[in-house]
Amino acid sequence: MARRAPARDIAENDLARSGGYREGRGAGEAGPRKRGDANVGQTDFSIAIVGAGIGGLAAAALLLKEGFRVTVYEQAAGFARVGAGIQQSPNVMKVHRGLGIEKHLREISFAPRTSLNRDGLTGETTNEFPLGEDAVKRYGAPFLAMHRADLHSALAGLVPQDRIRLGRKLAAIDQNGGRVSLAFTDGERVEADAVIGADGVHSLIRDYTSGPEQPRFTGRIAYRTTYPASLLRGVDPGLSRTKWWGPDRHIVIYFTTAKRDEVYFVTSTPEKADWITRESWSTRGDLGELREAFSAFHPDVRAVLAAAPEVHKWGIFERDPLPAWTKGRVTLLGDACHPMTPYMASGAAMALEDAVSLARCARGVDRDGIEAALKLYEATRKPRTSAVQAGSSANTWMRNATDPDWLYGYDAWTAPLGAPDPGKA
């Protein structure tokens, strides 16, 4: 079956550079009903994506490339540069390669030499896993650490501005007769042939597909900030991504830029069970409380905390794997369907892999085929994201000798579509 031509409004030199992206569906894969040749190149099939976070933007870029008429609806009025770093492991760097932004990310990001795990109190190394060139040799892609806003901005650059509607907060969703209707808080109503809920951990669309249920507050918060490395005054965070493990709390520290002029830390710290905030990246934390919480930690950790000019705090939520992500022509992606604690640094990675899988499953489908395509996507992704949710919840990843090949070695562009064969699991 012929595929539709790429949509013209995506930069050719971005998505088109992909190696894996050009790969077709796996041989012999049963797939949803495809469009006939007569429809190739048409862009009248509309997909609405709710949420312009990391997952929603990647999905938008890839579905546009597949020729769908995509519109992204985002509640925020603009994209703010919140102080946070993000790790991108080799599996997700392959996604970025296909998106055409790997080179850019390599140029601006910090490439840690190792994943260094140390006892928070004594400083003793409990596990050191080689990254840097070793990761490239072993997995075919680097392991990078960067500012979250730099990643978000690289992804936003793949989606034409007129495809993103800012300041549109979804209030209600329904579907009828092959159309999905969306109502926004400002009174606007739109319809689409299919909808992707990429609206994060507190997803409204998740309530629609699976019934209302709050994500579980883990009783822990993440203090985090980025700040200029010059404030460290001689303290060296080292060339690794370092996680310092305490008995009931931890802190991760790394540079976020290739120039190593910005440092980031993020903690997991116990918090009162009634402390809950729905959003967000902008809630301020108390530096005194944070320093007190880590006062028994190694002097290197205390020095990094002492240099921080401010800090934010973020409630850590999780859910058990959902029974289903898809309802008719509506499905979920990223934190909306598999929110996880950040302890494997893989939430965004899973959202980005989801986007690749979704685009592959939707490739060339017509209106009659979309529901099967969304189910195929869900079947492809759920086993892997459930395993990462469980691993993240356990919070033991890399503390001691760990084989990360199953996570880092995955390639979303070539992974078989559909539920894994239990005989090969």
Ligand X SMILES: Cc1cc2nc3c(=O)[nH]c(=O)nc-3n(C[C@H](O)[C@H](O)[C@H](O)COP(=O)(O)OP(=O)(O)OC[C@H]3O[C@@H](n4cnc5c(N)ncnc54)[C@H](O)[C@@H]3O)c2cc1C
The residues annotated with a catalytic role in the active site are 254
HSE-CB of 222 using CA atoms within 13 angstroms: 23
Specify the residue, 75 or 175, whose C-beta has the smaller distance to ligand X. 75
* Cβ neighbours, 10 Å, residue 416: 14
Q: Which residues contact 28 (CB under 8 A, 6 or more apart)?
A: none
- Find where tokens 């289903």 sit: 324
Which range touches ligand X (CB under 6 A), out of 114-122, 197-205, 237-245, 304-312? Answer: 197-205
Does position 51 interact with ligand X (CB under 6 A)? The reply is yes
Does position 199 interact with ligand X (CB under 6 A)? The reply is yes
HSE-CB of 241 using CA atoms within 13 angstroms: 26
Cα–Cα distance for residue pair 365/388, rounded to 1 Å? 29
Binding to ligand X in span 201-220, by CB under 6 A:
204
List b or e across 386-412, with b for residues whose CB sees 16 or more CB atoms inside 10 angstroms. Answer: eebbebbbebebbbeeeebeebbebbb
Cα–Cα distance for residue pair 77/169, rounded to 1 Å? 10
Does position 314 interact with ligand X (CB under 6 A)? The reply is yes
Which range touches ligand X (CB under 6 A), out of 21-29, 194-202, 255-263, 284-292? Answer: 194-202
Binding to ligand X in span 63-92, by CB under 6 A:
73-76, 86-87
Specify the residue, 75 or 326, whose C-beta has the smaller distance to ligand X. 75
Binding to ligand X in span 327-366, by CB under 6 A:
334-336, 342, 345-349, 351
Candidates 45, 48, 49, 53; binder of ligand X (CB under 6 A) is: 53
**Cβ proximity of 104 and 22 under 8 Å:** no
Nearest distance from C-beta of residue 132 to ligand X, angstroms: 17
Cα–Cα distance for residue pair 414/356, rounded to 1 Å? 10
SS3 70: strand
Does position 285 interact with ligand X (CB under 6 A)? The reply is no
Nearest distance from C-beta of residue 347 to ligand X, angstroms: 2
Does position 136 interact with ligand X (CB under 6 A)? The reply is no
Nearest distance from C-beta of residue 110 to ligand X, angstroms: 12
Residues lying near ligand X in the complex (CB under 6 A) = 50-56, 73-76, 86-87, 169-170, 198-200, 204, 222, 224, 266, 314, 334-336, 342, 345-349, 351
